[in-house]
Amino acid sequence: MTPKDMMAVDSNAEELGISKSALMENAGKSVADHIIDILDPCKIVIFAGTGGNGGDGFVAARHLLNNGYNVELFFIGRSDRIKSHETLQNWTAIQNINSGLNSLKVKTIEDSSTLKKVTAPVIVDALLGTGVKGKLREPVSSAIDIINKSEGIKIAVDVPSGLDPLTGNVQDKAVEADFTLTFHEIKTGLKKAAVRYVGNVILYDIGIPKEAEIFLGKGDLLRLKKRDITSHKGNNGRVLVIGGSRDYSGAPTLAAHAAFKSGVDLVHVACPQSVALPIRSYSPDFIVHTLSEEIIVEEDIDEIVELSKNVDSVVIGCGMGRDAETVTALNEIVGEIKKPMVIDADGLKLLYNDILHEIENEVIVTPHSAEFKVLSGLDVPEGLKDKMEIISKVSNENKCVVLLKGALDTISNGEKTRLNKTGNPGMTVGGTGDCLAGLTGGLLAKGHDAFEAACLGAYINGRAGDMASVKYEYHFTATDMMKYIDDAFR
C-alpha cells in the first residue's frame, strides 16, 4: 500500500462515515495496547511530530496514562504547524490533561539543541509517518538522532521516522526501531526496508472497512496529477481520437471534447472526410485530420499510426461504424499503435478476439454488458463478487484494464478490482460512453496508469452525470453532462 493509497483510503473511510479521528484513536490505542502487553507500568518517552503520526503519539500517551504508565512527551515542532484537525484535537486533549494530577510531563521542543539523550524502558517514535517529504528538517532531524542514541526499546509508529514509506530507502537517517507498529496495511516501504530500521513489523487493524478500498470515493481524487505551473503546451497531455463514420460525427466529437475537459493540452481527431466538417465546426480547439473515405479504411492506417506518434494516448472506436473495411483497419491500427489506448464502443465490437493480449502498451476497454459479452463470450453475472471475479479474469486473460460500465461500474487490471457508484439512470442517454472514453483517454495522456485512469474516469464521468441530474433530473444530454466535468474534478 502506497502513502497515496493510504490517503485515499483514509478519505474514503471518512466519506463512508468512519472519521479520521476514529482512525487516529484506534491507531494510537493499538500502540498503547502493544506496550501494555509487553511491559508493566513504567516510564514511557514519546517523541511526537506535528502531523498525523504525532497525533497517534498523543493518543497513545492518553491511553498509557490511563493504565498507570508515566509518560514523558516531547512535542517536536511548533503547535501552529499542526495542520490536521484530528492531530490538533489530540494536542488540545494533551494540554487539557496536563494537569499535574497524573504522571504526564510535556515538553515542546522547537530548538533541537535543547534535546538530550533519554533512558527509558520504551521510547516511542511518533515523529514522521507516511507524510514525510524531502530532506529531514530540524528539529525532527536531531530528534531522530536522539532516539537512536537513547537507551530503551524503540517503537516506531506506522513507519520509522526518516524512512521512505514507499521505497523503504533512508535518504539521510532514520529511527532504528525494535518494533514498527503499522496500521491497516503494511506500507510497501516497510517490506523493502532494511530490518535494522523496522525491527519486528506488527500490523494493526484500525477500523477501515474493505469498502473504503474497493469503492471509489472522493479520496481517490487525491491521485489526480497536479498541473505543473512551469508546464508549456503539450506537457499536460495530447490525445488522438480515432472514430466517426458517415452517420456518426457526434461520438468522436463528444470523446474529443471530454478529453479536453480532462485538462489535456491538445486533442487531435482522425475521422473520415464524411464527418470532418461537422467535427471541425463544433470546436476550433480540435485538430482534425481528414481521412480518405466515408468510413475508416485500410489506406488510412499509415496516416493514423503516424499521427499516434505525436500524442500521449489514443481513444479509438467512437462512432466508427462496422463496415468490413473498418474492421480490418481497426485491428491493424490497434496492433500497430504503441501508445496507451482506450478502445470503446464499435472498436470493441470489431476486435478480433485474440488481439488484445498481443498488445504490449496499456489498453483500457470500456464495454457495457452487451459489448462485454461480444468481447469475452461471457454474460455479466448478477452477484457483485461474481461480477468482480469475472471482470478480473477477463482483464487478466486479455492483459488489459476492463472498465465494465453499468449502474455500478466494475474496473479491473487483473490484480485489483474496484467498483464505482457514481452515475445515475439519466446516463443511459447516448454519448455518455463517448464522454467516458474521452475523459479516460485524457487521464491516460496526463500520465495516469491505465487502472488509475479507468477508475478516475469512471468516477468523474459519473459524478458529472450526478451533477447534471441535479439540474436536469433524467433529461440531460451528454453535451449537458460535459459542462459538469470540471466541477466533478474539483
Ligand X SMILES: NC(=O)C1=CN([C@@H]2O[C@H](COP(=O)(O)OP(=O)(O)OC[C@H]3O[C@@H](n4cnc5c(N)ncnc54)[C@H](O)[C@@H]3O)[C@@H](O)[C@H]2O)[C@@H](O)CC1
Query: 55 labelled as ligand-binding?
Result: yes
Q: Does 6 bind ligand X (CB under 6 A)?
A: yes
Q: Which residues between 48 and 107 bind K ion (CB under 5 A)?
A: 53
From the list ligand X, K ion, none, partner contacted by residue 450 (C-beta under 5 to 8 A by kind): none
The residue range among 39-47, 111-119, 153-161, 276-284 that interacts with ligand X, by the rule CB under 6 A, is 153-161
From the list ligand X, K ion, none, partner contacted by residue 338 (C-beta under 5 to 8 A by kind): none
* Nearest approach, Cβ of residue 17 and ligand X (Å): 15
In the complex with ligand X, the residue whose CB is nearer, 19 or 66, is: 19
Which residue reads 503547535 in cell numbers?
79
Helix locations, 209-349, DSSP H: 211-214, 250-261, 273-282, 301-308, 324-336, 345-349
**Backbone angle region of 20, left / alpha / beta, with phi > 0 → left and psi within -120 to 50 → alpha:** alpha
Q: Does 241 bind ligand X (CB under 6 A)?
A: no
What are the E-state strand segments in 150-260? 151-157, 179-183, 200-204, 238-242
User: 267 near 464, Cβ under 8 Å?
Assistant: no
What residue type is 248 in one-letter code? Y
Q: Does 56 bind ligand X (CB under 6 A)?
A: yes
Query: 487 labelled as ligand-binding?
Result: no
Shortest CA distance to 21 belongs to which of 96, 98, 91? 91
Q: Does 132 bind ligand X (CB under 6 A)?
A: yes
Does an H or E element contain 267, and which? strand 266-271
CA separation for the pair 56, 25 (Å, rounded): 7
Query: 434 labelled as ligand-binding?
Result: yes
Which residue reads 461504424 in cell numbers?
321
What are the E-state strand segments in 39-196? 43-48, 70-76, 104-109, 119-126, 151-157, 179-183
From the list ligand X, K ion, none, partner contacted by residue 359 (C-beta under 5 to 8 A by kind): none
Q: Does 137 bind ligand X (CB under 6 A)?
A: yes
User: 26 near 35, Cβ under 8 Å?
Assistant: no
Angle 432-445/450-472 helices, nearest 10 degrees? 140
Q: Does 51 bind ligand X (CB under 6 A)?
A: yes
Q: Does 159 bind ligand X (CB under 6 A)?
A: yes
Residue 489, classified by CB atoms within 10 Å of its CB into exposed (0-12), middle (13-18) or buried (19+), is middle
CA separation for the pair 236, 447 (Å, rounded): 8
From the list K ion, ligand X, none, partner contacted by residue 427 (C-beta under 5 to 8 A by kind): none
From the list ligand X, K ion, none, partner contacted by residue 161 (C-beta under 5 to 8 A by kind): K ion
The residue range among 20-28, 240-248, 374-382, 419-427 that interacts with ligand X, by the rule CB under 6 A, is 20-28
Size of the site for K ion (CB under 5 A): 5
In the complex with K ion, the residue whose CB is nearer, 53 or 398, is: 53
The residue range among 45-53, 91-99, 233-241, 480-488 that interacts with ligand X, by the rule CB under 6 A, is 45-53
Peptide linkage before 425 cis (omega within 30 of 0) = no
In the complex with ligand X, the residue whose CB is nearer, 8 or 482, is: 8
From the list ligand X, K ion, none, partner contacted by residue 84 (C-beta under 5 to 8 A by kind): ligand X
Interface residue list for ligand X (CB under 6 A): 6-7, 10, 23-24, 27, 49-56, 81, 84, 128-137, 140, 157-159, 183, 206
Rule CB under 5 A: which residues touch K ion?
A: 53, 125, 156-157, 161
Annotated binding-site residue numbers for K(+)? 53, 125, 161
